[in-house]
Amino acid sequence: MKSRQTAEKRSEVFALLSCHLQTSRYGKTMTITLPKWFDLHTHFRQGPAMAAYVKAHLDMGCAGALAMPNTQPPVARVSGPAQADAWSIEGYSAELRAAGAASFEQLIVPLYLTRQTTTAMIAEGAASGLLRACKYYPPHGTTNSEHGMPMDDLIGSEVLRAMEDHGIVLCIHGEQHALSGPDYIDAQQNAETRFYTERMPRLLEAHPRLRIVCEHITTRTAAEFVAAAPEHVGATITPQHLLYTLGHLIQGLKYHLYCLPIVKFQDDRAALRQAVTRAGQAKFFAGTDSAPHTTKATACGCAAGCFTGGCAPQLYAMAFEEAGVDFSTAVGQAMFEHFLCLNGPAFYGFPASQQKFTMEKAPQKMELLETPAGPVTPLPVGLSLELTWSLVG
């Protein structure tokens, strides 16, 4: 009886794996078939190149996106026509859909929090269904973030209380602003660790019901904070922060790896990898922060952002393998599936995709993305990296 149960169990495991693994007499090939995934932090910009950026996401099995509002002008209103100083969620969403985002199952555009944001905007936006998230930018902390306000001015505000009342997610760029160079980053602390030790505890205390996504976290401090926080606090992690460290950026000054928050140290990378590969974890999910620039190095400095359109799932898979995940096992595949495909939709309250996409354990070479605004360099091209996973179909 026991041997029969064992045989049946082995048969079940084989049936599960056979959907994902293929072996030939000439050598092993491995394919993984997953639900289409959601990029819950990405940039599609504005203008004639938008369609190329959206298509790059669709081509890599992406079923939906949270499109950042730090456009020019910012998405700082909920509805109505575009004005000189602000777009609306309604207007920018329509632009994105016209550029191809109508093919997404989900499209979320957060409201850029500025000093002009009101409680009425939150209430009316929630009631209309247009408003599902708001975005906090530290002033001058990243691209087009000059419209933001200090977190100290938001903590305890009526705007955040309105977001609590209406279940609106706060998406946070978690870095302290206006620091000197030595305070911005050194071996002991940096802009992110200071934010998560000095601001985030106060934010949670003042707004205990506020749903929060700590975006593109980069440090052990942030990962441990999110892991210990209530269930309504989650985090996105980018492929570059799971793969690379400050040493990769500095050695040879590989400026295509320059993003904000900047890649950190080996201990930080190890903590991020541990967070995403912890069995049963539901708090950490995919958000690439993919940020296209047609001109990366400029006379006034390097533009911040890694472009990972077309290759993010492959990069994530490479990071999981480097973290010790075995994709030939059901456990390894499930771990990856939860991070890439399931945790994000569950946190934002929409269903996982019923559509599928397939990746193969095989080399893939990336090319420049040609757009009407000029070519954009994907991160693998900028690093002369050949992907070890490829997309099938």
Q: Calculate the alpha carbon distances from 291 to 43, 99, 231, 336 in Å.
A: 5, 17, 29, 23
Q: What is the pTM of this model?
A: 0.92
Does 290 reside within a domain?
A: yes
Question: b/e per residue, 128-151, with b = 16+ CB within 10 A?
Answer: eebbbbbbbbbeebbbbbebbbeb
> Secondary structure of the chain in the HEC alphabet?
CHHHHHHHHHHHHHHHHHCCEEEECCEEEEEEEEECEEEEEECCCCCCCHHHHHHHHHCCCEEEEEECCCCCCCEEECCCCCCCCCEEHHHHHHHHHHCCHHHCCEEECCEECCCCCCHHHHHHHHHHCCCCEEEECCCCCCCCCCCCCCHHHHCCCHHHHHHHHHCCEEEEECCCCCCCHHHHECCCCEHHHHHHHHHHHHHHHHCCCCCEEEECCCCHHHHHHHHHCCCCEEEEECHHHHHCCHHHHHCCCCHHHCCCCCCCCHHHHHHHHHHHHCCCCCCEEECCCECCCCCCEECCEECCCCCCCCCHHHHHHHHHHHCCCCCCCHHHHHHHHHHHHHHHHHHHCCCCCCCEEEEECCCECCCCECCCCCCECCHHHHCCCCECCEEEC
Does 297 reside within a domain?
A: yes
267 is catalytic: no
Does 188 reside within a domain?
A: yes
Amino acid letter at 186? D
Does 265 reside within a domain?
A: yes
Residues 85, 153, 186, 289: which is the catalytic one? Answer: 289
Does 77 reside within a domain?
A: yes
Does 16 reside within a domain?
A: no
Does 26 reside within a domain?
A: no
pLDDT tens-place string over residues 248-272: 999 999 999 999 999 999 999 999 9
What's the CA gap between 316 and 357, in Å, rounded?
Answer: 15
Does 212 reside within a domain?
A: yes
Q: What is the CATH number of the domain that holds 216?
A: 3.20.20.140
CB atoms within 10 A of CB 236: 25
Residue 220: domain span? 33-392
Report the number of distinct structural domains present in the chain: 1
pLDDT tens-place string over residues 58-81: 999 999 999 999 999 999 999 999
- pLDDT tens digits for the chain (393 residues)? 444 344 434 333 333 433 444 433 334 689 999 999 999 999 999 999 999 999 999 999 999 999 999 999 999 999 999 898 999 999 999 999 999 999 999 999 999 999 999 999 999 999 999 999 999 999 876 766 687 889 999 999 999 999 999 999 999 999 999 899 899 999 899 999 999 999 999 999 999 999 999 999 999 999 999 999 999 999 999 999 999 999 999 999 999 999 999 999 999 999 999 999 999 999 999 999 999 999 998 888 899 999 999 999 999 999 999 999 999 999 999 999 999 999 999 999 999 999 999 999 999 999 999 999 999 999 999 999 999 999 996
